[in-house]
């Protein structure tokens, strides 16, 4: 099927690229405008406020990963031919290049990877939430920005723990590793955003109390252990 006649592929491209560009533009605006995101963060330093250089580095890596993931919507390749079957045949239906072993037509080069299709709407909504968060953060409307952080975190955690879970058709496999990486890194930064922005919205002073620090470490350790076990069982 030609690319221009595949509505699913067109929708996926628009949903992935549009919000992504909006989010990147919002982040650049937040970094280049005055006061910028760091100025506001320095003026509102509360518990769970992250190191700005860590955030910049993580954002850069996430940006590269998401660009690679989006690229998969535009670059498609046919699977290599099996040895011994690299010849052409014709059938009455008018299709060429059937696999003589199965008499099935070759996979379309415009078919989207199913896990990527399933995750595209969440990816789009997440980018719009983060773009809106940036605009609200610059206006120091921290309660409203926290609402967007919570929505984004809920979406990304839903994707990681339910949509892309091992018991679903979109479980981790060699063909959808990039989708799982994008979803999990997005979920990770979303949870950090909830903690950081939430502390600012509540004016919760730094450093957090010892019980809060201990609870954070325990929950993080349990989460990492759980995710590592899931990765092992997924493969």
Could you please report the per-residue DSSP string of 77-142? -PPPPPTT--S--B-TTS-BS-BTTTTBPPPPTTPPPHHHHHHHHHHHHHHHHHHHHHHHHHTT-H
Confidence (pLDDT) at 89: 41
Tell me what percent of the residues of the chain surpass a pLDDT of 70. Answer: 68
Mean pLDDT of 193-217: 74
pTM as predicted: 0.75
pLDDT band at 88, cuts 50/70/90? Answer: very low
- How many C-beta atoms surround the C-beta of residue 4 within 10 A? 9
Q: Which residues on adjacent β-strands are paired with residue 96?
A: 90
Chain mean pLDDT for the chain: 78
Confidence (pLDDT) at 199: 82
* Per-residue 3-state assignment (H helix, E strand, C coil) for 37-66: HHHHHHHCCCCCCCCHHHHHHHHHHHHHHH
Mean pLDDT of 187-200: 86
Mean pLDDT of 40-59: 73
pLDDT band at 213, cuts 50/70/90? Answer: low
Mean pLDDT of 35-46: 79
- Beta-carbon contacts of residue 14 (< 8 Å; ≥ 6 apart): none
- Beta-carbon contacts of residue 217 (< 8 Å; ≥ 6 apart): none
Answer with the residue of higher pLDDT: 54 or 63.
63
Mean pLDDT of 20-26: 95
Whose CA is closest to 189, among 68, 27, 21, 22?
27
Contact criterion met (CB below 8 Å) for 77 and 109: yes
pLDDT band at 78, cuts 50/70/90? Answer: very low
**Angstrom distance (rounded) from CA 89 to CA 198:** 63
Answer with the residue of higher pLDDT: 201 or 232.
201
Answer with the residue of higher pLDDT: 143 or 100.
143
Tell me what percent of the residues of the chain surpass a pLDDT of 90. Answer: 38
**Angstrom distance (rounded) from CA 87 to CA 76:** 22
Q: Which of 70-74, 200-204, 212-216 has the lowest mean pLDDT?
A: 212-216
Whose CA is closest to 17, among 94, 53, 71, 78?
71
Q: With 70 as the cut, is the pLDDT of residue 27 above it? A: yes
Mean pLDDT of 41-70: 80
Confidence (pLDDT) at 202: 80
């Amino acid at each position: 099927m030609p690319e221009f006649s595949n509505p699913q592929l067109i929708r996926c491209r628009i949903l992935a690229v549009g919000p992504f560009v909006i989010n990147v533009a919002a982040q650049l605006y937040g970094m280049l405008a005055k006061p910028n995101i760091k100025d506001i963060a320095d003026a509102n330093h509360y518990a769970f406020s992250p190191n700005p250089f860590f955030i910049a580095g993580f954002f850069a890596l996430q940006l590269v990963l998401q660009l690679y993931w989006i690229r998969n919507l535009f670059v498609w390749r046919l699977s290599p031919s099996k040895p011994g079957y690299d010849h052409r045949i014709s059938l009455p239906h008018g299709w060429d290049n059937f696999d003589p072993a199965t008499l099935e037509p070759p996979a379309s080069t415009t078919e989207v990877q199913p896990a990527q299709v399933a995750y595209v709407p969440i990816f789009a909504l997440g980018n719009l939430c983060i773009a809106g968060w940036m605009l609200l953060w610059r206006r120091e409307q921290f309660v409203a920005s926290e609402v967007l952080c919570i929505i984004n975190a809920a979406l990304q955690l839903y994707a990681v723990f339910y949509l892309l879970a091992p018991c679903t058709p979109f479980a981790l496999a060699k063909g959808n590793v990039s989708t799982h990486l994008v979803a999990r890194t997005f979920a990770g930064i979303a949870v950090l955003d909830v903690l950081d922005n939430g502390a600012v919205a509540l004016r919760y002073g730094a450093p957090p109390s010892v019980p809060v620090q201990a609870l954070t470490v325990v929950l993080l350790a349990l989460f990492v252990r759980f995710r590592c076990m899931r990765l092992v069982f997924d493969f």
